[in-house]
Each structure stands twice: as C-alpha cells, then as structure tokens.
C-alpha cells in the first residue's frame, strides 16, 4: 500500500462505507501542544494525538523523543478508535514530520494499513469541524518490531557497512550550529540528506521517481541497508516515509542525535564530509 494519501482521496474515503480513522498530530518543537488549534478546526472525525506524551516517552538518556511506553501508546491508539482492521490516516499542520512519527510507530507496532495525508492539513480543502471528537474505542494491540529499528551501536555499524542518512539541516550536520543538543556534528560515516529536500514548496512529497533518483545519488542504490536519524526521531521518520514512497525500506534510529550526543564517549564528526 502507498504510504501517503492525497486530500481528494481522503475526502472520498471519508464518505465511503468504511471510513478510515483519522489522527491529527499537529505539533511544534518545544511545545506547548496544539490541541487548541485542533479543537478550533480539524478534518471531520479526526482525533488529536499528542506527540510528546503519547508518541514518545519522557526525554532523558535515550533522547528527546524516545519510544513511548507500549501501554501508553496502546491506550492512546485505542482511545482514538484505532483497530487493526480499519485504515488509519495521519496528518499534521503541513511539515509532515509529526504525522510521519505516528505513521512509523503504527507500522513498527504492526498496524497493516496506515498512510500520511500528503501536504497535511494545508492540503485539505474539504469541510472542517470544531471541538473534540468522541470515537468508539478501538481494539488495536501493538506488536512492536514489525519494521527495522536502530539503536546507537546499530547506527554506528550501519554508517560503516551500509548507508546512514542524517535528516537534519546541513548546518547542524556540519556542526556549524547546534540550537538544541549538547554538541553539533554528525555520526561518523553518516551522509547529509536533509528531509526538507524531499518535498516541494507545497509541502507535498516529490514524485516517487524523483525521490528514488535523489536517494540513489546519496548511495541508496539497492546494494546496502539504509538507516536514518535526525535530532530526536521525528524528522527522521519523515525521511523514512520519503524513502518508502520511493520504494526503499529503511530503519530508523529513534534516539538519533539527541541520544548520541549525550554520550561524551561517542565520536563526533564535523564538516561537510561523512568522516
């Protein structure tokens, strides 16, 4: 199944006999959450999910957005109406990063049919509604491990033996600036691949062929495994999504730079080159 869905297709599916569950994952780095924006206007039937508390665990040694407690995630998904036998569509305010985090988590925990609204809420021209939704409870039971996941050691190894992509802005990769984490730079051997280059000005993904060409130019030519990291496992999920659109499977290092850089014993590379 395609990893993304257009606004027009979603509008059609919502009027069909088996409408999907829709999750609103609007989020901003550093908070506060955007529940107020959701309650002002959202796609009809959409349920708000808080990235910081329901799609991630507490910040700490494992990074700023580590994996959530499985039961917290399960309860949030069931409260939102998610069941394994019903399609799920996720969206956010437009960047797609937060929606991709929800997409990746649902795939990692075994949901068979989840897609991201291409272009997010900005692409939606249909009706909206206000106030909270009250869906019937779902029955989803997470089964973690259904897609590839990297830890710090696995990311380091993949940077040597395969292809590890750094989805952050190029200036953070080079170490020119670091506005959030302890130190700037990148995992030695990782290749700079800002996720912002995967979308057009509209916020929609580039066509699959263009994405495949971009990733091939970075080394994703089918000859080796591919992994992705970012600052804290959010924009990196968006890069994994872009790779999926291009037909390339990739593992996510959820702890990402926020975990890697906390450990002063781990090496840090700077400058424009991988090493």
- 1 has pLDDT over 80: no
Q: Which contiguous run of DSSP H or E holds residue 115?
A: strand 114-117
φ and ψ at residue 93, rounded to 5 degrees: -75, -10
Give the N- to C-terminal CA distance of the chain in Å, as an integer.
37
Q: Tell me if domain 4-123 and domain 149-260 are identical in fold.
A: yes
- The CB-side HSE value for 261 (13 A sphere, CA atoms) comes to 22
* pTM attached to this predicted model: 0.97
Give per-residue pLDDT as tens, 80-98: 999 999 999 999 998 899 9
Mean pLDDT estimate for the chain? 96
Give per-residue pLDDT as tens, 21-72: 999 999 998 888 999 999 999 999 999 999 999 999 999 999 999 999 999 9
In sequence order, which residues have a C-beta less than 8 Å from that of residue 75 and are 6 or more positions away? none
Give per-residue pLDDT as tens, 249-274: 999 999 999 999 999 999 999 999 99
The model's confidence at residue 222, banded by pLDDT at 50, 70 and 90, is confident
Q: What is the pLDDT of residue 185?
A: 97
Choose, from 51, 98, 150, 230, the residue flagged as catalytic: 230
**What proportion of the chain, given as a percentage, has pLDDT over 70?**
100
Task: Name which of 71, 99, 65 is nearest 199 in CA terms.
Answer: 99
DSSP assignment of 18-34 equals SPPEEEE----TT----
**Count of beta carbons in the 10 Å neighbourhood of residue 98:** 30
Domain ranges of the chain: 4-123, 149-260
Report, at the CATH architecture level, how domain 149-260 is classified: 3-Layer(aba) Sandwich (3.40)
Q: Which two tokens stand for residue 192?
A: 């700079």
Report, at the CATH architecture level, how domain 4-123 is classified: 3-Layer(aba) Sandwich (3.40)
Write the CA distances from 73 to 17, 49, 115, integer angstroms: 28, 10, 18
Residue 64: active-site member: no
């Amino acid at each position: 199944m395609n990893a993304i869905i257009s606004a027009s297709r979603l509008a059609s599916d919502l009027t069909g006999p088996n409408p999907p569950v829709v999750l609103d994952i609007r989020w901003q780095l550093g908070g506060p959450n955007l529940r107020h924006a959701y309650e002002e206007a959202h796609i009809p039937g959409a349920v708000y999910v808080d990235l910081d508390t329901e799609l991630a665990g507490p910040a700490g040694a494992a990074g700023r957005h580590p994996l959530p407690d499985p039961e917290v995630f399960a309860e949030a998904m069931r409260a939102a109406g998610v069941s394994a036998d019903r399609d799920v569509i996720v969206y956010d305010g437009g960047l797609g990063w937060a929606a991709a985090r929800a997409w990746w988590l649902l795939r990692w925990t075994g949901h068979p049919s989840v897609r991201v609204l291409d272009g997010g809420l900005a692409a939606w021209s249909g009706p909206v509604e206000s106030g909270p939704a009250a869906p019937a409870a779902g029955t989803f039971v997470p089964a973690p491990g259904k897609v590839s996941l990297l830890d710090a050691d696995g990311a380091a190894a993949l940077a040597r033996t395969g292809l590890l992509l750094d989805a952050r802005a190029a200036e953070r990769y080079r170490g020119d600036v670091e506005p959030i984490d302890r130190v700037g730079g990148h995992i030695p051997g990782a290749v700079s691949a800002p996720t912002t280059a995967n979308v057009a000005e509209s916020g929609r993904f580039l066509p699959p062929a263009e994405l495949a060409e971009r990733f091939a130019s970075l080394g994703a030519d089918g000859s080796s495994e591919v992994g992705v990291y970012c600052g804290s496992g959010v924009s990196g999920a968006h890069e994994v999504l872009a790779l999926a659109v291009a037909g390339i499977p990739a593992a996510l290092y959820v702890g990402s730079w926020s975990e890697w850089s906390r450990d002063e014993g781990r090496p840090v590379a700077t400058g424009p080159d991988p090493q």
